[in-house]
Amino acid sequence: MKAHDGMYIAGAWRPASTGDTIPVVNPADEEVIAHVPAGTAEDVDAAVRAARAALPAWSATPPAERAVKIGAVRDGLIARKDEIAATVTAELGAPLPFSEAVHAGVPIMVAGSYADLAATYPFEEKVGNSTVYAEPVGVVGAITPWNYPLHQIVAKVAPALAAGCTVVLKPAEDTPLTAQLFAEITHEAGLPAGVFNLVTGLGPVAGQALAGHDDVDLVSFTGSTAVGKQIGATAGAAVKRVALELGGKSANVILPSADLAKAVNVGVANVMANSGQTCSAWTRMLVHTSRYEEAVELARKAAAKYGDRIGPVVSAKQQARVRGYIERGVEEGARLVAGGPEAPREQGYFVSPTVFADVTPGMTIAQEEIFGPVLSLIRYEDEADAETIANGTVYGLAGAVWAGDDAEAVAFARRLQTGQVDINGGSFNPLAPFGGYKQSGVGRELGAHGLAEYLQTKSLQF
C-alpha cells in the first residue's frame, strides 16, 4: 500500500502539523519502504478535539446501529485481508502464511465478536430499586504496539466503538502502515467523522501527548511494563481511567503425567511464533527433574526444525536486545542447546531460534522479558517447587499446564498467579478475557470483559 502523508482526523486525511517523517523499514531486508508523518502534540490535540466533537452523537447511537458499523469494519477487514497480510509482512517481517492466518485472521474474528456483543450487551440492568446504566467512558486514547499491529488496534477500537466511545489511535512507529490501512477501512465502513482518528508518531512525543491530554477520558496502552508505568503515573495524576496490557514471562508447566513430546513441541512452537515477539509467549518451560533431559533433547530437535522458517525481529534495536539477552544467558551459566547470539544471516534483523537448558529461576533470562525466539528450560523437584518457580516473577500474563488429564492440569492452573492459562494445549478464544496479574497490567481485553473496560456505571434509584 501507499503510505499517507497526513493524519486521519474528523473523517479525512489532513496534513500533519510539521513535515517531519518516520521511515518504515522492512526488517527482512533493511530497506526503507515508506515514510509516515511524525505527529506532534498539535496533531494529537486536533484528533482529540475531533473525537470529543463526535462523542455526543456516537454515544447516543443505539447499540444495534453501532453493531452494524462494527460489522461493516469487519467486512472491510475480510475484503482487504490479503493486503493486510502483505502490509504486516512488509513492515513487521512475519512470514506471509503467519500474517494471513494470525495478523489478518484474528482481527476479523475479534471485530466480528464485537459486532455481535454491541447488539446483545446488557447496557442497563435492574438492581433492587435501582436501574444501573453502563455508559461510554468518553474519548479513548489507544496506544498500540508493533508485535501484533492490527490485532492490538482492533482489540481496543472495536470494544470502544461498541461501548459508544470515540477513539484517537497512536500506533507503534515501526508498523504504522497497517494502522493507516485500518483507518481506510473504518472510512469505507461509514463510521461518522471523528469517531475514529489516527495520529502516527513517536511514543515519547505523540504517545505522551495523547496519554497526558486533558480531554482524553481513558488511556488504553499495550507495550512494555516500563512505559506502562509512565502512562499509569500520568493517568493517575489526572485521575484518568487506564487499561494497561504489559509484559510477560509466562510459565509452561509440564507435569510428570503429561504427554511430554506434545507438550514440548507445542511449547517450542508457541515461543517461536511471531519470532518470539509475543507478550504472552510461554518463555519458561518447567519440567520435572525425572524427565528433564528428555525434554531438553525434544526441545533441541523442535527448535532445529524452525531454522529459517521464522521471520526477523522488528528492528536492529530489537535484534541487539535479544542477542544481548542470549549472551547474558551464556555468561550466567545456562547451557545453550540450540541457536545462539550469532546472526543467522548477513542481511535482515534475524535471530536464531534459541533454547537454553540448566536455567535457574533467578537468572536474567528467567526473569526478564526478552521478546525474541528464546526459550528457557527450568527443572523442578515437585509441584510445590513448580508453583513457586512459575509464580516467581513480577509478571502474570499467561501460561500453560500439561497433565495426563484436564482435572489435574486445572487444579495446578488455579494456583498460578496469571490472567490466562491454556490447559493441555487449549486453543485461543477471542471471547475470553485477556490480561494480567501483577506487573503484566491493569484491566482486560477481548469479549464482554474487554467491552466493560470502556464503560462507566450510573445508578438511578426509584
Tally the residues of the chain.
462
Which run of H or of E encompasses 131? strand 130-136
Of 245, 369, 387, 408, which residue is the catalytic one? 245
Active site residue 245: yes
Query: Do residues 149 and 171 touch, judged by C-beta distance below 8 A?
Result: yes
**All cell numbers assigned to 288:** 520435572
CA-to-CA distance for 211 and 209, rounded, in angstroms?
Answer: 6
Q: Pick from 182, 179, 296, 252: which is nearest to 398 by CA?
A: 252
What gap in Å lies between CA 450 and CA 429, rounded to an integer? Answer: 13
Annotated catalytic residue within 91, 173, 279, 453: 279
Cβ of 312: how many Cβ atoms within 10 Å?
27
| 179 contacts 39 by C-beta, under 8 angstroms | no
279 is catalytic: yes
Q: Is 454 helix (H, G, I), strand (E, B) or coil?
A: coil
CA dist 454 and 220 (Å) reads: 9
In contact, 440 and 248? CB cutoff 8 Å: yes
Q: Rounded CA gap, 120 and 211, in Å?
A: 31
Helix segments in 16-103, DSSP class H: 41-60, 63-79, 81-92, 96-98
Residue 361, C-beta contacts closer than 8 angstroms, at least 6 positions apart: 367, 378, 389, 392
In whole angstroms, give the CA distance from residue 48 to residue 268.
43
Contact 303, 354 (CB under 8 A): yes
Euclidean distance between the first and the last CA atom of the chain, given in angstroms as a whole number: 56
- Helix, strand or coil, per DSSP, at residue 43: helix
Catalytic residue positions, numbered:
245, 279
